Amino acid sequence: MGWIPVGSSATYADAILRLGIGELSEPITDVENPKLILFFMISERELARELAPADLEEFKSRALQNWINKERDNHDVDAAFDSDIYNWMLEQLQQTAVPTPTPLAPSMPGL
């Protein structure tokens, strides 16, 4: 499987990260194919390692969501979507819309 960072939401991360080095996991049914049984083993641990791009994106998204959830408790968030807001949005979109160019009619020699 490769390296899995602590705190990852990878499918089997919880079961894998509880293992000691060299320890074999109990049989785990494969989520994608229940007919398969999987075994995992940790070969090494590192205190610090650069995150893979996918792991980095997962951790950044989770950190942002956690911050938003925490800040939401500190503020009154009010959302209203009425016809005035809808009309304002349409006006804004019309101002930023780029017109599609109209193709010129092909010139046909001899006509």
Angle in degrees, CA 31, 65, 11, rounded to 5: 15
Token reading at 34: 């229940």
pLDDT in tens, 18-67: 888 998 888 989 888 999 999 988 888 888 888 888 888 988 998 999 99
Ordered by start, the domain boundaries in the chain are 1-72
Amino acid at 63: A
This prediction has a pTM of 0.47
Question: 18, 44 in Cβ contact below 8 A?
Answer: no
Q: Quick one: pLDDT at residue 110?
A: 58
Q: Residue 87 — very low, low, confident or very high, per pLDDT cuts 50/70/90?
A: very high
